[in-house]
Amino acid sequence: MNKTIFITGTNSGFGKATVERFAKAGWKVAATVRDINKNSELFNDLENVSLYELDVTNFNQVDEVAQSVIKKFGKIDVVVNNAGYCLMGPTETSTMEQIKAQYETNVFGVFAVTKAFIPHFRENKDGMFINLASASAQFNYPFIAAYGSSKWAVRGITESLGIELAPFNIEVKAVYPGAHATKIFTKLDDGATLFQSIFQHYKQYYQTFLSAQQELPNVTDPSNIADEIYKAATNRKGKLHIISGGDAKMQSLMKKILPERAFQKMQIRSILQPLSKMEISFTKWLMGSNTSKLDVDVKKGND
């Protein structure tokens, strides 16, 4: 195997699992982290992995790292836009600064990395972008309006560029993960506790929504997404939009077959009452057997 992949946001979760998946398959991997000093030993056991420091909101750094990677490896075959985080909480208690920061990483970061590699792909008349969206870009959840809508934007970027870049033999795909055992709930920007007097109006609904995480401690392992990304990268004729995870597939199906109001009512129920025992059992079944513990560190407005 003499192919190279560039992956952003690789210190944990989907990014880390994807680096390991491709490295073990013989690919050369250029992996990025925001702080290389905190991750100096990351992937030391994988000789075909090179680690770079990159903040995707630093657009000059994005261009510099892209050129450095291209110079070192000569040809990049696949770019995975994975870096991102989640702003969670009632929209009313989230500041505009938080919402702007959410878009700067999850949307503008994707644009910056993509733009940095388009000329390289265009000149080679070959290349593929794989964008990590979210199941929330198929059906959004309450209390993550900024995060979910940022992932809808990633979906839009994927669809548009898939057409725009097709004449240059450049593929653009997106993966839409459901609940997986990443550290996303330990890297939250929390919009729930900034305005306590306002938050009290939402507190019971927010806590009911979050209670599902306590009832479902084990969710699908990130290696599932790494496998999906590998399949997408090695099969140019495969699906362009890949919904992954039993829960994501089920919700997507329900949204297609139910009337709009019925689907919305089902979602509203998730903030009015906790999951029933039957719903918990069914969701556990949807997660499959390849599961691991979900790390959660979510503030619930009690501080």
For 230-283, the pLDDT digits (tens) are: 999 999 989 999 998 888 898 899 999 999 999 999 999 999 998 888 888 888
Strand partners, 127: 170
Has residue 210 been placed in a domain? no
State how far the Cα of 13 lies from the Cα of 27, in Å rounded to an integer. 19
Choose the weakest-confidence range: 29-43, 211-225, 285-299: 285-299
The model's confidence at residue 73, banded by pLDDT at 50, 70 and 90, is: very high
- Residue 136 inside a domain? The answer is yes
* Average pLDDT rounded to a whole number, residues 145-157: 97
- The count of domains in the chain is 1
Q: How many whole angstroms separate alpha carbon 62 and alpha carbon 303?
A: 37
Structure tokens at 152: 């809808």
Q: Which residue has the higher pLDDT, 291 or 110?
A: 110
> Cα–Cα–Cα angle for 256, 257, 260, nearest 5°?
75
161 found inside a domain: yes
Find the catalytic residue in 147, 176, 206, 230: 147
Residues 107, 152 contacting (CB under 8 angstroms): no
Question: Does residue 133 sit within a domain?
Answer: yes
CATH number at residue 146: 3.40.50.720
Query: pTM (2 decimals)?
Result: 0.91
In a domain, 275, yes or no: no
The answer to whether residue 106 is domain-embedded is yes
- Reply yes or no on whether 52 is catalytic: no
Q: Is 28 inside a domain boundary?
A: yes
Q: Is residue 290 part of a domain?
A: no
Question: For the chain, what percentages of helix, strand and coil (3-state, to nearest 5) are there?
Answer: 50, 15, 30
Is a pLDDT exceeding 50 seen at residue 303?
no
pLDDT band, very low/low/confident/very high, at 287 (cuts 50, 70, 90): confident
Mean pLDDT of 87-108: 94
Identify the domain containing residue 189 by its residue range.
4-195+220-245
